[in-house]
Amino acid sequence: MIMLKSGFGDLSLASLLVSIVSGLFVAYQYDYTAAYSSIIIMESSLPYGAFLRSVHYYSSQIFFIFLLIHAGECICRGIHLNMPVVSWIKLVLTLPCAILLLFTGYILKGDIVGVSAGRIAEQLVLTIPFIGDVLNRFLFSLMHDGLYRVYFNHIIVLGLVCGWLLWNHLKKRTLKGHYVLLFIFIMFGICFFCKVPLDAPPNDAKAMLVKGPWFFLGVQELLRYFSPLWAGIIYPSIIILLLMLLPVAGKKYNGFFLSIIIFFVISHICLTVTALLR
């Protein structure tokens, strides 16, 4: 096991723990059969309901950001070259798993943006040849099961998968207490000043342009120019595949693979900024 000196790994783990603990409180009060109204009741009637939802929302977002930074620093320091290929692939797969966790949580808001994001996700998955319908029934199935499948995957399946992928990487690490305290302090400050956004109800006819979550905006912008299969499935899959192949490339082709990955990352950032400015 390779121990890293940087604190981003510890910060990402601390944010994940805060997200899990706060998520348990939110899940206890959440009703997937009446998602939007249950969130309204949670925030307006329950003591500290809005605060706990804010903690869960922002800690999850920050976890993903720290995870990306931690992955980037591992690659820059060549950690992947000294790891078993299977171990590295499992770590890379935590990225799409974390995105699915964030995305399913976004759908579970039950507002117009969450419902629209869920419909778009369903259509993207259904474009996958041969396995699209099966995969959609496993991940979303909004047309048949409402939010039940999304809720079940968010609180159980994806969490277990993510834990399994990270277990070998985390079991030899000792989380430093000051990182947890630092993150909790930052989280309380953010949640005190910034309330979690909740858009219009799902049946609001006045809603015109609906933007997805920030980590999905690049794909949403790309959908303007390419087919759903290429923009929503193949494009992000190329980045994940290249990351998985980094140890196989070795030192000889490592620079070439990194150059392609950097190109895709920069293009995604540009697409995201373009979507934000619309």
Cβ atoms within 10 Å of 22's Cβ, excluding its own: 22
User: CA–CA distance from 88 to each of 79, 85, 91, 95 (Å)?
Assistant: 9, 5, 5, 12
- Residue 6 pLDDT: 58
Taking the domains of the chain in order of start, what are their residue ranges?
8-197
List pLDDT tens digits, range 25-43. Answer: 898 889 999 999 999 988 8
- Residue 206 pLDDT: 58
Please list, in sequence order, all residues whose beta carbon lies within 8 angstroms of the beta carbon of residue 182, skipping any fewer than 6 positions away.
11, 14
Our CA angle for 222, 223, 228, nearest 5°, is: 125
End-to-end CA distance of the chain: 45
List pLDDT tens digits, range 5-23. Answer: 557 888 888 888 889 999 9
Q: What is the pTM of this model?
A: 0.89
- Residue 7 pLDDT: 75
Domain spanning 8-197 has what CATH number?
1.20.810.10
Could you report the average pLDDT of every consecutive run of 10 residues in the chain (278 residues)? 58 87 90 90 85 90 91 85 89 94 92 87 92 93 89 94 89 71 79 78 64 87 91 91 86 82 90 88
